[in-house]
Amino acid sequence: MTKPFRKSESPYLADWFAVTFRWLNLLGCVASLGLAESYSVVAVIMLAQAVMWNMAVSLMAIFNRRIFAHRPINLGVDILISLLLFVVTGGLEGPLVWVGLLALVTAAIYYEWRGVLPTALGMAALQVGLVYLMSDGQPPLQGVITLAAGTLAAGVLLAFLSTLLMNWLRATYLTQVRQRKEREQKVQALERDRLGAFSRMVESLSATLDYTVVLDTIMDMSAGALGMEDAGANQLVRAVLLFGEHDLSVATARRFPPPDLRVSFPAEKGALADVIKSGEMQRVDDPAEDPELSRLVVMQSCRTAVCLPLMRGLNAYGVLLYGHPDPDFFSSERLDLMQMLNNQAVIAIQNARLFHDLAQEKERIIETQEEARKKLARDLHDGPTQTVAAIAMRLNMIRILQDENPARVAAELETVEEMALRTSQEIRHMLFTLRPLVLETEGLEAALNAMAGKMRDTYQQNVSVSVSPQVVDELDLGKQTVIFYLAEEAVNNARKHAQAGSIQIRLRFWHKDEEIALLEVIDDGVGFDVQAVSREYEQRGSLGMVNLRERADLISGVLHIDSAPGKGTRVMVIIPLTESATDRLQRANNKTKG
């Protein structure tokens, strides 16, 4: 079934031309009638109907709609209106003798010369016939000839003009279509290049775990992934700012002068502070006025800048910084792409950081194992080895005394026996600390009590243990092992350096918070200046504090040492028991460091 209306996405230009010229013709009719002062009721009614018809056609043109057989219907209506107006206004003697132009113009617009020439012939014939009927068979010959000749001449002229006009319109339309296709092809090519660059960037980021390669890849390929042309890319300022201990510093950059590469930012004010606090992209309209970005020389020529957070969860790695002299450069489309690039960059940086941390952790484990071997060698050398050497010397002396002074032999043998027993205890204690089997079989509290007993038996060091069973129930074996070695390291440090009369080991919940535990090792020894020892620690031979800190890191704990000369020492390790507690503890620790 044929639909009465059809719609186009683009305007029907021929309809707009036809409607426009019809309005002009109708306006000319009204003007001609007014000048001749020959209005009649019938003429007014005809003109009103013609106006209503053109209004309806105009509305269809506005909404890009057409009725079925739109062109022939429009031409037929215009022919009918032209002939009726010609008749009711007096024919050859009336003011609208030219009204046939209404139909000719419509035919010229819709059908060009193929339509206007037959229409002109038909109109000339119909008008002559009407004149003949109106004059009772005696028409004025000269007027008839003039009317027919004028109609035919107008048809020929309109045929010529319509052909020129429509050829020009077609050429213009085809040019526009070709240009639109070229623009679309160019946009598609740019989109393919951008997607290709984005894919290459993602592939490059995924193919390496080298931290410096990841950062350089982000800088080198970001402009291409954003689909920027050479001119725009050459003006794009970009940098990766990463956190050191406290401040942001330039890890890598493009188009930064050498002085800018040495600038660091506390990220306490302006866009950098906002992006870190909110975790969302920040756009700066005038970076030269920003309290921190203004310190960069390169930002003085930039009219706009964008900061994107390199964050994953609570881990803030740094900020991606972009700047450009064009204030409208960062369109919404580019901002969306930059956000996508930023997400990929965060994942790549996180993977590279994790790999880097893993490599460092591996090195620390190797160093810790090496230090444990050195410690064991020192302990063996300073303890059992010396005692065994002393036993050998006393045995040699006993052999001599058997001949010279037999009465002293029994006393010397008793001394040797004591030395051997003490050496055996020291070796057993070393073996216990290397692998406390009681920790695996009976748990943390039993292992700490066993360690305290061996301290008393071997070194005559008083050690008391207070452990909350509820805390131990929340700890897996891995954490219990780390906590045991933390306590053992702290107790050994106190025994060797503090000259303590007593040492206390306490494990309990932190301020009744059942998600955080607190390990304390407290002695009443001589104490020390914590800051002074920390500053000189690289020159010290012992790694006791380093071992404590690294072991605390293994369980996401926070180490704090409270001591002063003459006031004893308190080693505290705050231990999170859940993931939420770990997040809270890290956040609080970051604030304290900040």
Q: What is the pLDDT of residue 60?
A: 85
SS (H, E, C) 305-358: EEEEEEEECCEEEEEEEEEECCCCCCCHHHHHHHHHHHHHHHHHHHHHHHHHHH
Q: Which two tokens stand for residue 483?
A: 């906590």
Amino acid symbol at 594: G
For residues 74 and 17, give the distance between their C-alpha atoms in angstroms, rounded to a whole number.
13
Reported as a pLDDT band with limits 50, 70 and 90, residue 582 is confident
Give the up-direction half-sphere exposure of residue 69: CA atoms within 13 A in the CB hemisphere: 6
Q: What is the pLDDT of residue 1?
A: 43
Class of domain 202-356: alpha beta
Within 131-281, strands assigned E span 237-243, 248-254, 264-265
Q: What is the pLDDT of residue 523?
A: 92
Query: Over the Cα atoms of the chain, what is R_g?
Result: 49
Q: What is the mean pLDDT of residues 379-385?
A: 70
For residues 318 and 298, give the distance between their C-alpha atoms in angstroms, rounded to a whole number.
19
Reported as a pLDDT band with limits 50, 70 and 90, residue 306 is very high
Lowest pLDDT segment from 51-65, 185-199, 476-490, 500-514: 185-199
Q: What is the pLDDT of residue 206?
A: 61
Between residues 497 and 362, the one the model is more confident about: 497
Lowest pLDDT segment from 47-61, 152-166, 355-369, 515-529: 355-369
Between residues 213 and 24, the one the model is more confident about: 24
- The reported pTM is 0.44
- What region, left, alpha or beta, does residue 322 occupy, with left being phi > 0 and alpha being psi -120 to 50 degrees? beta
Q: What is the mean pLDDT of residues 197-218?
A: 66
217-276 pLDDT tens trace:
777 766 665 655 544 557 888 888 888 777 888 988 888 999 999 899 988 889 999 998
Between residues 5 and 172, the one the model is more confident about: 172
Reported as a pLDDT band with limits 50, 70 and 90, residue 195 is low
Q: What percent of the chain has pLDDT over 90?
A: 10
121-156 pLDDT tens trace:
988 888 888 888 888 767 788 888 888 888 889 889
Q: What is the pLDDT of residue 329?
A: 85
Q: What is the mean pLDDT of residues 352-381?
A: 68
For residue 491, the surrounding DSSP H or E stretch is helix 477-493
Q: What is the mean pLDDT of residues 289-299?
A: 91
For residues 487 and 507, give the distance between their C-alpha atoms in angstroms, rounded to a whole number.
10
SS3 524: coil
Cβ pair 272, 293 in contact under 8 A = yes
Q: What is the pLDDT of residue 479?
A: 86
* pLDDT at residue 411 greater than cutoff 70: yes
224-241 pLDDT tens trace:
656 555 445 578 888 888
Q: What is the mean pLDDT of residues 396-420?
A: 78
Strands 5-7 and 513-523: unpaired
Q: Which residue is associated with the tokens 């803030």? A: 316
Can you name the residues that pair with 519 across neighbouring β-strands? 507, 573
* pLDDT at residue 213 greater than cutoff 80: no
* Distance of alpha carbon 145 from the chain centroid: 82
Amino acid symbol at 416: V
* pLDDT at residue 75 greater than cutoff 60: yes
Angle (CA) 262-268-272 rounded to 5° is: 70
Q: What is the mean pLDDT of residues 540-544?
A: 54
Q: What is the pLDDT of residue 555?
A: 85
Cβ pair 98, 52 in contact under 8 A = no
Cβ pair 339, 280 in contact under 8 A = no
For residues 13 and 9, give the distance between their C-alpha atoms in angstroms, rounded to a whole number.
12
478-519 pLDDT tens trace:
888 888 888 888 888 888 888 888 999 999 998 877 889 999
* pLDDT at residue 590 greater than cutoff 70: no
Q: What is the pLDDT of residue 498?
A: 83
93-131 pLDDT tens trace:
888 888 888 888 888 888 888 888 999 898 888 888 888
Reported as a pLDDT band with limits 50, 70 and 90, residue 203 is low
Fold that domain 443-594 belongs to in CATH: Heat Shock Protein 90 (3.30.565)
Q: What is the pLDDT of residue 11?
A: 56
Q: What is the pLDDT of residue 170?
A: 78
* pLDDT at residue 552 greater than cutoff 60: yes
* pLDDT at residue 406 greater than cutoff 70: yes
For residues 345 and 222, give the distance between their C-alpha atoms in angstroms, rounded to a whole number.
10
Q: What is the pLDDT of residue 593?
A: 55
SS (H, E, C) 258-311: HHHHCCEECCCCHHHHHHHHHCCCEEECCHHHCCCHHHCHHHHHCCEEEEEEEE
Q: What is the pLDDT of residue 435?
A: 63
Domain limits of the chain? 5-178, 202-356, 443-594
* pLDDT at residue 594 greater than cutoff 60: no
* pLDDT at residue 50 greater than cutoff 80: yes
Between residues 202 and 227, the one the model is more confident about: 202
Lowest pLDDT segment from 10-14, 562-566, 586-590: 10-14
Q: What is the pLDDT of residue 52?
A: 92
Within 446-485, strands assigned E span 462-467
Reported as a pLDDT band with limits 50, 70 and 90, residue 456 is confident
Cβ pair 29, 96 in contact under 8 A = yes
Q: Give the other-Cβ count within 10 Å of 486's Cβ.
A: 24
Q: What percent of the chain has pLDDT over 70?
A: 82
> Mean pLDDT in the chain?
81
For residue 308, the surrounding DSSP H or E stretch is strand 304-312
For residues 588 and 510, give the distance between their C-alpha atoms in angstroms, rounded to a whole number.
14
Cβ pair 287, 299 in contact under 8 A = yes
* pLDDT at residue 69 greater than cutoff 70: yes
Lowest pLDDT segment from 151-165, 328-342, 578-592: 578-592
* pLDDT at residue 362 greater than cutoff 90: no
Q: Give the other-Cβ count within 10 Å of 235's Cβ.
A: 17
Q: Which two tokens stand for residue 291?
A: 């309290």
Q: What is the pLDDT of residue 543?
A: 57
Reported as a pLDDT band with limits 50, 70 and 90, residue 572 is very high
